[in-house]
Amino acid sequence: VGPGYDYEVVNTDVLLRELTVRDGCLLLPNGGRFRVLALDSASRVSPAVAARLGALIRQGAVVAGWPQPNGAETALSRLRRLS
C-alpha cells in the first residue's frame, strides 16, 4: 500500500495463496500489514474461500463482514463450522 492509502484490495488468488497471519495481523509478501480483512457484504464465496477464511480466523485474523449464500450450505454457516 502506497503513501496515503489505508487499505488494499486482494483477489481470491492472493487470499488463498499469499495472505498469512502473524501476531493477529494479516500479512502480504510485499510487506503489506493489516489488522482487519473486510469482506464485501454483496460477495459470494466458494467453499475454498470459506475454508481459507476459517483458517485465517483460527490463526488470529480479524474478518469483518459476512459472505452471502453460495450453494446448499451458506458460507456463513460453513465459516462458523470451520472456525
Q: Provide DSSP, 23-81.
A: TTEEE-TTS-EESEEEPPTT-B--HHHHHHHHHHHHTT-EEES-PBP-SSS-HHHHHHH
Quick one: pLDDT band at residue 72, thresholds 50, 70, 90? very low
Q: What percent of the chain has pLDDT over 70?
A: 69
pLDDT of residue 56: 93
pLDDT higher than threshold 50 for residue 15: yes
